[in-house]
Amino acid sequence: MRVEVGGFLGFILLICVVYAVVKTVQSRASTGTKVLWVVVLLLLPLLGFILWLFFGPRS
């Protein structure tokens, strides 16, 4: 089963993932944690963003 997001929703998802990556890099979390979150966000954008919202590093 593949989930494809395109058009306007894809653009919104791109903005959300870029925001999550920037916030993760700016957080006070350890380097290993930052790298792990960025990899998850880049490999699984939709699921990664949802997981980041609930479990991601806090500033």
Q: Does 2 fall in a domain?
A: no
Look at residue 42 and tell me if it is in a domain. yes
Q: Is residue 20 part of a domain?
A: no
User: Looking at the domain assignment, is residue 32 inside a domain?
Assistant: yes
Q: Which residue has the tokens 């590093």?
A: 57
What pLDDT is attached to residue 35? 97
Taking the CA of residue 23 as centre, how many other CA atoms within 13 Å lie in the half-sphere pointing to its CB? 14
Residue 21 included in any domain: no
Instruction: Express each pLDDT in 1-28 by its tens digit.
Output: 676 778 888 899 999 999 999 999 999 9
Q: 57 lies in which domain range?
A: 28-59
Residue 8: inside a domain, yes or no? no
Of 18-22, 32-36, 55-59, the range with the lowest mean pLDDT is: 55-59
Q: How far is CA 16 from CA 21, 30, 37, in A?
A: 9, 22, 14
What domain count does the chain have?
1
